[in-house]
Structures are given as C-alpha cells and as structure tokens.
C-alpha cells in the first residue's frame, strides 16, 4: 500500500499536469515553497510554506479558494482538489477531498480516471 508521502507525490505531479488557470504561476508557487507539510489529521491535504520576505505574483487578491478540480476515480466517489490561498494570494494549501465531506478515507488502491472539471473561484 502506498504511503501518504507517495500519494502526496502522485497528487502533486497530477496537479502540475492539470490545465489550471494561471498554471505557470501555480507551478511557480509550488516550486517556491520551502516546505510542504501533510495535514495532521491523516488525510491527503497538504500545506505550502514560504520563506519570510518572499515576493511572488499572487494567484488571488484575497485569501480563500483559488480554484478547484476533480477527477473520476476507480471507486464510488470522485477526488476533489481545492487550491486555497493565504491573505497574500499565495498558494497556502491544497485540500484533497474524497467523497462527500471527506468522511471516507481515500482507498489504498485509488486511481484517477478522467478529469471531471476545473472551476475557478469568484
Ligand atoms: Zn486532513
């Protein structure tokens, strides 16, 4: 069974293949992160950390959801990815959500199928 770190690498690689709005800038934010930490609750969500004083072109004008995309999976539920920005407009976290309200753990053998959609917030 893949570890959460292995899943994380998979989701990050997947995210970088999606034709997101401001895709090049999203990549730049990810590459600028000095550290990425997995959510403490045990889910697949992760946070990005930047060095103090780092200046990046922002993704959003204020904190909150930047965009969302979701994939069909080989299981009952789809896998949703929410890109959330901090007050500077920097990509602060990526919520990885499986099923309604994220109450079901992600199955160990999950695989993504087709991209269902990309939604830009606001
Ligand atoms: Zn979590």
Phi, psi angles (nearest 5°) of residue 15: -55, -40
Q: Measured in angstroms, how far is the CA atom of residue 96 from the centroid of ligand 1?
A: 8
Q: How far is CA 112 from CA 15, 59, 81, 119, in A?
A: 12, 26, 12, 18
Over the stretch 56-103, which tens digit does the pLDDT of each residue have? 999 999 999 999 999 999 999 999 999 999 999 999 999 999 987 767
Q: What is the pLDDT of residue 42?
A: 87
Measured in angstroms, how far is the CA atom of residue 16 from the centroid of ligand 1? Answer: 21
pTM of the model: 0.94
């Amino acid at each position: 069974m893949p570890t959460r770190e292995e899943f994380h690498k998979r989701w990050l690689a997947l995210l970088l293949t999606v034709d997101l709005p401001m895709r090049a800038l999203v990549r730049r934010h990810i590459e600028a992160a000095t550290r990425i930490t997995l959510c403490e609750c045990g889910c697949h969500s992760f946070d990005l950390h930047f060095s103090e004083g780092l200046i990046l072109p922002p993704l959003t004008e204020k904190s909150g959801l930047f965009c969302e995309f979701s994939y069909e999976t080989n299981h009952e539920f789809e896998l949703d990815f929410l890109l959330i920005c901090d007050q500077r407009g920097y990509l602060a976290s990526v919520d990885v959500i499986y099923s309604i309200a994220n109450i079901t753990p992600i199955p160990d053998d999950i695989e993504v199928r087709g991209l269902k959609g990309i939604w830009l917030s606001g």
